[in-house]
Amino acid sequence: MRYRTWLFVAILELLTVAGGYFVIREVPGTPSPSSSEQTGLPLRDPEQRVSQDGVLRVRIALERRQVDVAGRKLWAMAYNGHYMPPTLRFRPGDRLELAFENRLGEPTNLHVHGLHVSPRGNSDNVLTHIHPGETFHYSYQFPRNLAPGTYWYHSHAHPLSEAQVAGGASGIIIVDGLKKYLPPELRDIPEHVVALKDFQVEGDGIKTENLDISATTKRTVNGQLNPTIKIRPGETQLWRLANISANIFYQLRLQGQQFQVIAQDANPVNRIFAADTLLLPAGARFDVLVRGGPPGRTQLETLAYNTGAGGDQFPQANLATLVSEGEPRARVPLPTAFAPTEDFRNARVDAKQTVVFSENQATKQFFINGKQFDQNRVDIQSKLNTVEEWTVRNESNEQHTFHVHTNDFQLLSTNGKAQESHGLQDTALLPANGEIVIRIRFADYTGKSVLHCHILQHEDAGMMAILNIVK
């Protein structure tokens, strides 16, 4: 029997399936893939639902069912029957009509993360709870000046967000228009969604309850383990990097190469900048250009990361393999300037706010300004068409991910050090026992919105507050 087991493993190590391999190897801090887990297959971009004549009509159902993840069948929270659901794609000024069906045995809802859209009624209203068996009709009218780039959608049903997103309830949104800022020679370049989703296994399903964020976790790209991405030497590709997980941080590195950043959190940058590594806390996105190097293979990895003495530790893991091969392409020079951006540094400040994140580790309770979330209480009230400066402090010994809905902000400083601004963003790293200073302009929409830590375990445990925007 031992001989047969050894022979079976040896055959698996050599077996090629659809251009990929079953690979058995150790990654520090992560378990080896079982014999049924497929690694090294070509990257699959999610299916797309694209707007037509200014309207995108789509139906999305959320249910718990068995899905295919990296060659395994696992019970998960699935949109439209998939762990990696359809990408929703439209243009600025379009309308999205979305029929959302709840097939779970618990309430849920849908949030379009980062999009500048009304927080009221049946638009991006995260205070709505859709009960089991109900279908809710969302309607979003997007402004013509909506920033192009990569967004995402996910459950935001308090206090069930972590369980549902960790279970798989997240997908990608793309707003077209980013490529128009590129040179003509680069406007038709290939693009890939690189959606970072992770999960922990419990029995025959994805674990959703009592999660230990630092526990052994499978890291996937578009639901695949270490897929391959092909590129020609000298070719330029657009990669849409998005952390659409519930809790985990990713510190990305493409070995031997740099990312050329053209947008952060779906906000085009004022100038393209190069980065050796990119930190993506939960909820963050970067649109980047990647160039094919000499023929060969290089690894897209997430580096080991520690969120602080009271936080979590994440090991290094390989995420995907970039394979440079084929006929070389001429390298097209990149421009220095990229897109016009808003800059609030010299704006008149109409009001100032202090926002304090804190926690009680013994009771696992989390607070903003000393209070846990209550959707019936207004925590901050701001006026439409004003600019505010917020000092956001962290009185805990772990990092948090600051996120605000409806309006993006400009990061001015971190721990008193001025930050070079390339544009606006909707997430920011809040250092352990530190602070950030931001400026935010309230434009176009009134109503109750929220701000919170985008580590969803912290959000569900109270680290969220109501922001009411009034005329």
74 pLDDT above the threshold of 90? yes
Query: What is the pLDDT at residue 6?
Result: 37
Query: What is the pLDDT at residue 424?
Result: 98
Q: Whole-prediction pTM value?
A: 0.91
Q: Within its chain, how far is the Cα of 329 from the centroid? A: 31
Report the candidate in 315, 303, 289 with the shortest Cα–Cα distance to residue 253. Answer: 303
Distances (CA, A) of 417 to 208, 253, 341, 425: 38, 25, 22, 18
Backbone angles phi, psi at 5, to 5 degrees: -65, -45
Report the candidate in 372, 382, 373, 378 with the shortest Cα–Cα distance to residue 352. Answer: 382
What is the phi-psi region of residue 79: left when phi exceeds 0, alpha when psi lies from -120 to 50, beta otherwise?
beta
**What average pLDDT does this structure show over 435-450?**
98
- Residues of the chain above pLDDT 90, percent: 90
Band of the pLDDT at 9, cuts 50, 70, 90? very low
Distances (CA, A) of 120 to 58, 123, 136, 170, 448: 20, 6, 14, 22, 7
Q: Can you read off the two tokens belonging to residue 7?
A: 């022979």
User: What is the spatial distance between Cα 284 and Cα 64, in angstroms, rounded to a whole number?
Assistant: 26
Give 303-343 pLDDT, tens digit per residue: 999 999 999 999 999 999 999 999 999 999 998 899 999 99
Quote the Cα angle for 417-419-421, to 5°: 165
User: What is the spatial distance between Cα 440 and Cα 231, in angstroms, rounded to a whole number?
Assistant: 39
Q: Which one-letter DSSP state was computed for residue 164? A: H
Spell out the SS3 assignment of 322-358. Answer: EEECCCCCCCCCCCCECCCCCCCCCCCCCEEEEEEEE
Band of the pLDDT at 258, cuts 50, 70, 90? very high
User: What is the spatial distance between Cα 48 and Cα 50, in angstroms, rounded to a whole number?
Assistant: 6
Question: Judging by DSSP bridges, how do beta strands 447-453 and 400-404 pair with one another?
Answer: antiparallel
Report the candidate in 311, 306, 71 with the shortest Cα–Cα distance to residue 212. Answer: 311
**What average pLDDT does this structure show over 11-37?**
37
**Three-state DSSP state, 457:** helix
Query: What is the pLDDT at residue 39?
Result: 82
Which secondary-structure segment (H or E) carries 468?
Answer: strand 464-470
CA-based diameter of the chain, in Å? Answer: 77
User: What is the spatial distance between Cα 25 and Cα 28, in angstroms, rounded to a whole number?
Assistant: 10
User: What is the spatial distance between Cα 382 and Cα 470, in angstroms, rounded to a whole number?
Assistant: 6
- What length does the chain have? 471
Band of the pLDDT at 447, cuts 50, 70, 90? very high
Query: What is the pLDDT at residue 14?
Result: 34
Report the candidate in 184, 177, 168, 105 with the shortest Cα–Cα distance to residue 148. Answer: 177
Residue tagged 């805990």 (tokens) = 396
Band of the pLDDT at 170, cuts 50, 70, 90? very high
Which residues on adjacent β-strands are paired with residue 353? Answer: 390
Give 276-288 pLDDT, tens digit per residue: 999 999 999 999 9
5 pLDDT above the threshold of 50? no
Cα R_g (the chain), whole angstroms: 22
**What average pLDDT does this structure show over 129-135?**
98
User: What is the spatial distance between Cα 231 and Cα 351, in angstroms, rounded to a whole number?
Assistant: 49
User: What is the spatial distance between Cα 147 and Cα 171, in angstroms, rounded to a whole number?
Assistant: 19
**Three-state DSSP state, 444:** coil
Domains in the chain: ranges and CATH = 48-180 (2.60.40.420), 181-324 (2.60.40.420), 351-470 (2.60.40.420)
**What average pLDDT does this structure show over 154-179?**
98
Distances (CA, A) of 59 to 68, 79, 145, 186: 21, 10, 26, 34
Band of the pLDDT at 465, cuts 50, 70, 90? very high
Query: What is the pLDDT at residue 22?
Result: 28
**What average pLDDT does this structure show over 145-159?**
98
Say if residues 151 and 113 touch (Cβ distance below 8 Å). yes
Distances (CA, A) of 228 to 259, 299, 315: 18, 9, 21
Band of the pLDDT at 71, cuts 50, 70, 90? confident
Q: Can you read off the two tokens belonging to residue 281?
A: 């806390």
Instruction: Classify residue 63 as exposed, middle or buried by CB count within 10 Å of its CB (0-12, 13-18, 19+).
Output: middle
Distances (CA, A) of 35 to 1, 11, 17, 23, 199: 17, 11, 13, 8, 18
Say if residues 175 and 95 touch (Cβ distance below 8 Å). no
Q: Can you read off the two tokens belonging to residue 122?
A: 């049946």
User: What is the spatial distance between Cα 49 and Cα 79, in angstroms, rounded to a whole number?
Assistant: 13
87 pLDDT above the threshold of 80? yes
Mean confidence (pLDDT) of the chain? 92
What is the phi-psi region of residue 168: left when phi exceeds 0, alpha when psi lies from -120 to 50, beta otherwise?
left
